[in-house]
Amino acid sequence: MGRKPIIAGNWKLNKLTGEAVAIVEDIKAKLDTIDSANLPEVVVCPVFTALQSVSNILEHGKNIRLGAQNFYYKDSGAFTGEVSLPMLKDLCVTDVIIGHSERREYFSESDEMVNLKVKAALANDVTPIICVGESLEQREQGITDNHITSQVKKALDGLSAAEVCKVVFAYEPIWAIGTGKTCDAVEANRVIKMIRSVIADVSNSGIASSVRILYGGSVKPSTIEEQMAQSDIDGALVGGASLVAESFVGIITGSMKSRV
């Protein structure tokens, strides 16, 4: 199928600079012992204040990429407190998380803002990792598919097929984030296939089959193999388990074992 897996660590609001550097050194040392042909693409997303120091110790273009958890969609100007994509690129950031449920919920990130950010990321040649997912209430009401279809369509609104090709999605059921409750792998795969069909509707099936779609929500070394054994799950966006080098590397290596 040719979709290279991605394992991305979302550190959220955690780790001082020294701690961030120490964990990346540890991850690097562990990955250096593995042939890179047997590794997925790996991304770490520290807090802004640790980006420069982590960037300094990464050999860019090798095993681990640097991601950011947020940014503002304008390049510069009177936007107090914001950070732009050219500023992140200056630190060798290559990937950005957009529309995480925590940003949607606590910081009012709307579908319109998600769309503006996706366009800005693509214009700056940075990979957008677009998060979508339903709440427990929405799942219980049976509106999961409608909700996610709407999130995907709005995120991709106005993009050319060539641009759609470059995005990455992460299906993150909100009820599975940070709860220890993983979504059943078969059900996660069903939703991810549904996301792929929405992508096909707004572009075409060739592009839809090339877009990487990750699963996120309490991913652990013990869950990754079953997840990666599914036909359409192309990797993971990992929160809690990415904060410890051993478990993050366990997920990275596990992701390649059962890849179908």
Residues designated as active site: 100, 172
- Residue 9, interface with ligand PGA (CB under 6 A)? no
- Residue 254, interface with ligand PGA (CB under 6 A)? no
Residue nearest to ligand PGA (CB): 239
Residue closer to ligand PGA (CB basis): 228 or 238: 238
User: Which one of the spans 68-76, 122-130, 170-178, 197-205 is the region binding ligand PGA (CB under 6 A)?
Assistant: 170-178
Least Å from the CB of residue 208 to ligand PGA = 23
Residue with tokens 């060539």: 162
CA gap 30, 44 in Å, rounded: 15
Residue closer to ligand PGA (CB basis): 64 or 243: 243
- Residue 178, interface with ligand PGA (CB under 6 A)? yes
223, 161 in Cβ contact below 8 A? no
Least Å from the CB of residue 219 to ligand PGA = 5
Least Å from the CB of residue 163 to ligand PGA = 24
172, 131 in Cβ contact below 8 A? yes
Least Å from the CB of residue 201 to ligand PGA = 26
Instruction: Determine the Cα angle at 19 with ends 168 and 175, to 5°.
Output: 45
Q: Which residues bind ligand PGA (CB under 6 A)?
A: 10, 172, 177-178, 216-219, 237-241
